[in-house]
Amino acid sequence: MGSEQIPRLIDSEVGTRTKPVKVLLLGGPRTGTVSLYSACHTLGLRCYHQADLLQDASTRTKHAHLWNEALRCNFLNQGKRYGRVEFDKFLGDYDALGDVPLSFFTDDLIRAYPDAKVVLTNRNPDSWLGSMKSTFFHYFSDASMKSVGILDNSYVGELVRMTVLYLNLAFGEDWNDDATVKRKYKEHYEHVRNVVSKDKLLEFNQPYSWGPLCEFLDLPVPEGDFPRLNTTADLVSLFRKGRNEAFVGLIGKIVMAAVPIIAATAGYVWFVGWKAAFKKPMATFMPFASEV
């Protein structure tokens, strides 16, 4: 069966686009994407981000499955490629699109939404690598997290599988190879700069502020400071919580699955013991019987 004929989950989705895509946020992970997501909402844009999905139990598992499928279709040739039709089915209610793994689909998104502006959140490669090592690379290589990815069928398990696949595709499978990881990080940014015209691209440099973003999007500057969210400590806490909850859930499932087996085994042992007992001489149970 060719990749074009492989059944896909996305084919059963019926969503459509309800608003045009105004901006693509194509910066990598740990570059301020949560802060930018929050800023977009303040500016009146509905921004797609994993932070939003974490709060929506009704769609987060489905989206994790769809992104896993999209990665396999578009980068591993394991199904018909995702394009605008597919993206619109589950991203149609958003006019700003960002976060990972979405930003890894640079060419597909630009082809799907050619009128959208693009924002690149920039971060020094060495600083970025240090943050990745403390968060994504550390927790998604952890033995307990790997167990969750293998055994858990909930949202967390699917998110782990999808994230590991994304990280391997985006930065190579050896996350300890600093030179390769940084090279791939830089290559992503250079590729975005090469395929997006300068008039549609904002190089958003730290420290982030409202001025450049609002001028680029032609929107008024809101009151208050630009958001500063999702520090390394925040993400570490989130990863720990997700890992621990999923691991506890796994243990619970294992225990529940084991209960019938333990009960059946105990019953069998009792039955065998009971049966063996009745094979003993009657005097064993009635010592007075010989006196009758």
Note down the domain range covering 52. 3-261
| Residue-averaged pLDDT of the chain | 86
* Better-scored residue on pLDDT, 14 or 236: 14
Domain membership of residue 291 (yes or no) is no
CA distance linking residue 46 with residue 75, whole number of Å = 28
Query: Looking at the predicted structure, is the pLDDT value of residue 150 above 80?
Result: yes
Query: Looking at the predicted structure, is the pLDDT value of residue 49 above 60?
Result: yes
Contact 73, 81 (CB under 8 A): yes
Residue 143's CB is within 10 A of a number of other CB atoms, namely: 7
> Using only C-alpha atoms, what is the Rg of the chain?
27
| CATH number, domain with residue 226 | 3.40.50.300
Residue 32's CB is within 10 A of a number of other CB atoms, namely: 22
Starting at the edge strand that comes first in sequence, how are the strands of the sheet with 201-204 ordered? 47-48, 96-97, 23-25, 117-121, 201-204
Domain membership of residue 223 (yes or no) is yes
* pTM listed for this prediction: 0.82
CB hemisphere CA count around 197 (13 angstroms) = 6
Q: Which helix (H) or strand (E) holds 191?
A: helix 178-195
Domain membership of residue 48 (yes or no) is yes
Query: Looking at the predicted structure, is the pLDDT value of residue 264 above 90?
Result: no
- Domain count along the chain: 1
Domain membership of residue 287 (yes or no) is no
Over residues 73-93, the pLDDT tens digits come to: 999 999 999 999 999 999 999
| pLDDT for position 292 | 37
CB hemisphere CA count around 199 (13 angstroms) = 2
* Better-scored residue on pLDDT, 86 or 51: 86
Nearest Cα neighbor of 121 from 248, 228, 253, 261 is: 228
Q: What is the mean pLDDT of residues 188-199?
A: 98
Over residues 244-261, the pLDDT tens digits come to: 666 666 566 666 655 566
| pLDDT for position 290 | 38
| pLDDT for position 287 | 45
Domain membership of residue 273 (yes or no) is no
Domain membership of residue 207 (yes or no) is yes
Domain membership of residue 114 (yes or no) is yes
| pLDDT for position 232 | 65
Domain membership of residue 200 (yes or no) is yes
